[in-house]
Chain A
Amino acid sequence: MNTAATTTTDEHADSHDHGHHDSRLAHHFDSHQQQFDTGKLGIWLFLVTEILFFSGLFGFYAVYRSLHPEVFLYASQFLDTVLGAANTVVLLFSSLTMAWGVRCAQLGQTRGLLVCLVITLACAAIFLGVKSFEYTEKAHHGLLWAGMYQSPEHHAEAAVPAAAGAEATAGHDAGDHAHASADDHSDESLFEKTKHTLSYMTTVLWAVIVLAGIAFAVFIKKPGKLTQATIAGCFLISAVGMVLGTYASIGYHHFGHAEKPTDQEILMAETVPAEYAAQKEKVPEPELAGTFFSVYFCMTGLHAIHIIGGMIAISWLIVRTAHGAFTTYYFGAVDFVGLYWHLVDLIWIYLFPLLYLIN
């Protein structure tokens, strides 16, 4: 903890006058080792702030779970464990490729680094795709945060008579969510909605990437063709990944519960989650069930924002890698983004059991 980091000064004291030739070394550092150590300490401290940032949400979770355990027991049944677990594995895999990418960077293997980064970016996009399906499904069933939450019991009851021919459901704006107009298109409306959400999320991602690109262009005077091509490539990978993730989860949703459902079951599946519809004995809905979804959306939402931030950082790395910016003695940026990415993974490792696996 002492002066270890500054001892390099003496070794390089003689090279000060010509030290500025190296564009990879900032003028206020004496050596690459010092620059790397400085950055590393910086990123670890940044991770410390991230942990404390999330600690507020974990505190929120802990307080409400300890005060209202029944809410968490009841509401977590609406989360799809399989999708959550799949997402966990996707994120873990992206962590693997990121760590592998760091290794490639340390060894100076540019091609390997590029491949690893691209896979990581794609995994992140797949994660977001699955997430966008999950969000749409929740919104579709009225399972939103406390202020917008609609109890599944009444959500279903409001919708079933409507399909049976009853004129209107007494001005209940649940109709927005549950326009159960066509029997056999039941899952299609969910599909349509998911596509909408997907396009929203893609637009957001696109906008953010464009903004980041503009900021990037400010630093680079002439963005060459290579830069533009790699930025476009990153966007393409992100978009394809997200679509892939979404369609995979829609597919799972379709075939996961395809055992010749009755009309009543379809209606129920349309308006309430299948898990709920399948229950023989319904657990009575506790008060404040919406609080769980507040927690769910806050935690996963903030996590998703971090994923998007990570995707931008990884795209930036891809662009720089394509330009051959990283060498065996200058790979700090890869390492630092990697650390950030692992932290995002780390938070998900805790979120998954806390939200999806409550029994």
Chain B
Amino acid sequence: MSDHAESGSHAENTQSCHVHIVPVKVLIGVFLALVVLTVVTVEAAKFDTGELDVIVSMAIATVKASLVVFIFMHLWYDKPLNKIAFFFSIIFAGFFLCMILLDSHAYDAYVKGFQQDKTPTVAPAAAAPAPATAPAEAAAAPAEK
């Protein structure tokens, strides 16, 4: 097949890799859409919508991410196996997050108890004046005034 490499006319048939080439217009369009979405998410964050806040910003981020993944990373035109690999990893990471979230609330009380028992005794970094906990700071502040 290397014979064909030198002769340019045949190169298309044997040497080329069959891949999808994204037109420039699409690339620029995607970029502009991403910028617009960035502005939208910044503006949206200024409205206090309470719980919805996270959902809205994550939804916008996901739209942006999908644009990058499908167009910039060509995943839309890619082999099914690569798609499966990518989405499986997302699902998998999501599962991991859900499990630790589900569980961390269960034992949080224990951790807090430990923290209240032992805050002053465990000395962290030598440079830190005090662990950044309110009681220690509150005690120090009036003394300075």
Contacts and interface: CB of A to CB of B under 8 A. Distances in A.
Interface stretch (A143-151, A250-258, A270-278, A310-318): A143-151
B101 A350 contact: no
A40 B131 CA distance: 48
A51 B90 contact: yes
B38 A150 contact: no
B93 A44 contact: no
Interface string B71-95: 1110000111110111011101100
Given A85-B42, A353-B41, A342 B69 contact: yes
Contacts of B144: 154, 157-158, 161, 169-170, 172
A244 interface: no
Contact of B81 (A41, A148, A346): A41
B111 to A, nearest CB: 9
Interface stretch (A91-99, A205-213, A235-243): A91-99
Nearest to A2: B81
Contacts of B134: 285-287
A357 interface: yes
A94 to B, nearest CB: 10
6 contacts: A22-B5, A36-B19, A66-B104, A96-B27, A342-B68, A350-B58
Nearest to A328: B16
> Interface of chain A, helix or strand or loop or mixed?
helix
Contacts of A288: 132-133
Interface residues of B, number: 75
B58 A92 contact: no
A18 B6 CA distance: 14
Contacts, number: 205
A151 B21 contact: no
A103 B22 contact: yes
Interface of A: 1, 4, 12, 15, 18-19, 21-22, 25, 31-33, 36-37, 40-41, 44-45, 47-48, 51-52, 54-55, 58-59, 62-63, 66-67, 81, 85, 88-89, 92-93, 95-96, 98-100, 103, 106-107, 146-151, 153-154, 157-158, 161, 169-170, 172-174, 285-290, 327-329, 331-332, 335, 338-339, 342-343, 345-346, 349-350, 352-354, 357-359
Contact of A173 (B57, B71, B129): B129
Given A99-B72, A107-B21, A329-B16, A359 B143 contact: no
A57 to B, nearest CB: 11
A40 B20 CA distance: 13
Contacts of A45: 85
A59 B145 contact: no
Contact of A174 (B2, B5, B125, B129): B129
Interface in B34-80: 34-35, 38-39, 41-42, 45-49, 53, 57-58, 60-61, 64-65, 68-69, 71-73, 78-80
A147 to B, nearest CB: 4
Contact of A31 (B1, B79, B92, B124): B1
Contact of B68 (A15, A63, A66, A95): A95
A180 to B, nearest CB: 15
The 9 nearest A-B residue pairs measured at CB: A55-B93, A357-B45, A353-B57, A329-B15, A48-B89, A149-B132, A290-B132, A96-B31, A21-B2
B137 A154 contact: yes
A4 B81 CA distance: 11
B18 interface: yes
